[in-house]
Amino acid sequence: MIILSTQGLAKTHGLKLLFSDLSMGIEDRERVGLIGVNGCGKSTLLKVLAGVEEADAGTITTRTGARIEYVDQNPVFAPGQTILEFVFSSASRISHVVREYERACAALGHAPHDAQVSRRMEEASRAMDAADAWDYEHQARALLGKLGVFDLDLPVDQLSGGYRKRVALAHALLAESDLLILDEPTNHLDADTVAYLEEHLRRYTGAVILVTHDRYFLDRVTDRIIELDAGQLRVFQGNFSDYITRKAEMDAAEMTADSRRLSILRNELVWLKRGARARTTKQKARIDRIRDMQEVPTFQRQENVAFTIETRRLGGTILELDNVSKTFEGKTILSRFTHTFARGERLGIIGPNGSGKTTLANLMSGRLSPDEGTVVRGKTVLLGYFDQESSDLDPNERALDYVKREGGDMLRGTDGTARSAGQVMEQFNFTPQMLYTPIERLSGGERRRLYLVRTLMANPNFLILDEPANDLDIPTLQALEDFLDGFTGCLVVISHDRYFLDRTIDQLLVFGSDASLRRIPGNFSVYEQMREDEESEISAARKTKTETPSDTKATSEKTAATKSGKLGFNEARELTKLELDIPRMEKRLEDLVEEMATAATDYMKLNELAQENQHTKADLETALERWMELSERS
């Protein structure tokens, strides 16, 4: 059944027409991905569908009784509203009951011996029984834990952008809606949270329409892609991979048709040059037809921006970090970190939000100094840093002038070719008209794209990209990936975009929540496969635990005997012990997530559990590294 349909939608922003005469429908359980270049109107269309903005023309029809939840790209909250109040602010009765129960729990935690508070708790518990809301409350706690939302008393408007996004998602996912409308749901989320969101949406029983630049997310969640291009919609059945295949076929067909049209036009122009006159109706019609053919725009295939850039030569010393440590407000971000960059190194950095990724980038760039250790940058290093702020944009300056002033006016290739600032901007999807547009008239995504081009035009030989996928559209990310194919300097990428990491880097640094760092020789997919293998091994070890004592003893003796051929007796015994200890630590981590969710209103208890969580993660990392070392030798 159709949940929502539109007929003849139109919307302008200032003097710019975003879309016109749009008609579409969303059915039960559909997963729709909306894509298009920055500034084309994707977010505006979602707001119109959600009823946040009104269309200039057209109608929207929703199924009677259908409930719609919308998550904005940058959620806004009422001043002073707490996480608890917002997360359970759904109109459903069960949500109100759970919210009152959580409030009663919080009050009881602050005044456990107050008789009035105790009566309030009893009443809330009876209401939970009457509404059969305990399963919902348990699911809510589990979901909040997976999203990393714990202290429900915090005012939402004082949280960081990433935390606010998780709170907004929690509210939308817990609401009993028929349609979820999500604008960039993966922005500011770490890879583990994105993976959880993917799984949750696959199980979700309603329909979804979303805008995201995360191509793996589109591939794994959607079953229909809608492209907003030049104010019109084009529909592609299937996920993002299916879209890419079909789009390539359409481009090829369009090029063939365009080539045929140009061939006919050349022949017709030869006829005109021979002195044809419109003396007859047929001749006049033929001349009119030629003029019509000349007015048809020629198909323009996006030119690949990969060409080997002539960068400044790097000397023997590039960038060396020796035993670097950094602490903020008593929290250790880095501890005795050492790394020496080689020529052409491509390093990706991933980890949970707040774990220290940007801090490490700032230490590399010299924006921060280490508390201990040294950072040595070679004299030949010309650093380019694409940070998350884009703060030096003058709103009155024209786009092209800004790129030339801050970056440069020419990029030269090793083959002698050269590309001007305007050409590079066009290859990053700026139209010729946009080159001379004041920056204040560009959208947020277009300004990020402009800042990116400026960074690249400075022609650095050491490039740091901090969350480049945030606020950039898919065509721009594809253009950047092509550009980096021809970049011969050192590259550091901090990103949660798994596809982008796979395309651009060849080794990873993985931050843990306890300042630990794990080095992975490979891209994100290699790391993901390693984790899956480790989880399978842990699962197998858990299965071993369920054997009878005699079976377990026999298995342990057999394992030790097998290992001892290449390992010493003590090492074989250590390996056997690790195979039993690792699943216990993994199980404890799972239990801690649930315990932290349950203790969200008890700050002291939550703090103790969080510390134990950090220590257990560190012990597990050490155990896994030692297990891998011993396994390889066995």
Structural domain boundaries in the chain: 1-66+178-238, 77-158, 243-295, 319-522, 528-633
Residue 93: pLDDT band with limits 50, 70, 90: confident
Using DSSP bridges, classify how beta strands 346-350 and 507-511 pair: parallel, antiparallel or unpaired.
parallel
The one-letter amino acid at 159:
L
pLDDT at residue number 365? 94
Q: What is the pLDDT of residues 561-582, one digit of tens each?
A: 444 445 665 676 677 778 778 8
Please state, as a whole number, how many other Cβ atoms lie within 10 Å of the Cβ of residue 610: 15
Band of the pLDDT at 559, cuts 50, 70, 90? Answer: very low
Strand-pair partners of 349: 494, 509
In the prediction, which pLDDT does 542 show? 65
Highest mean pLDDT among 75-79, 157-161, 232-236, 544-548: 232-236
Residue 302 has pLDDT above 50, yes or no: yes
The owner of tokens 């759970």 is 98
More confident position, 239 or 610? 239
Distance of CA 609 to the CA centre of its chain: 29
Report whether pLDDT(272) > 70. no
Q: What is the per-residue burial (b if ≥16 Cβ within 10 Å, else e) of 335-352? A: bebebebeeebbbbbbbb
- Using CA atoms, how far apart are residues 451 and 402, in angstroms rounded to an integer? 9
Structural contact between residues 305 and 482, judged by C-beta atoms closer than 8 angstroms:
yes
What is the structure's pLDDT at 352? 84
pLDDT at site 280? 58
Domains 1-66+178-238 and 319-522 equal at CATH topology level: yes
| Overall fold of domain 1-66+178-238 | Rossmann fold (3.40.50)
Spell out the SS3 assignment of 299-341. Answer: CCCCCCCCCCECCCCCCCCCEEEEEEEEEECCEEEEEEEEEEC
According to the model, what pLDDT value does residue 337 have? Answer: 93
Assigned fold of 319-522: Rossmann fold (3.40.50)
Could you tell me which residue, 632 or 590, shows the higher pLDDT?
A: 590
140: confidence class by pLDDT, cuts 50, 70, 90: confident
pTM score: 0.74
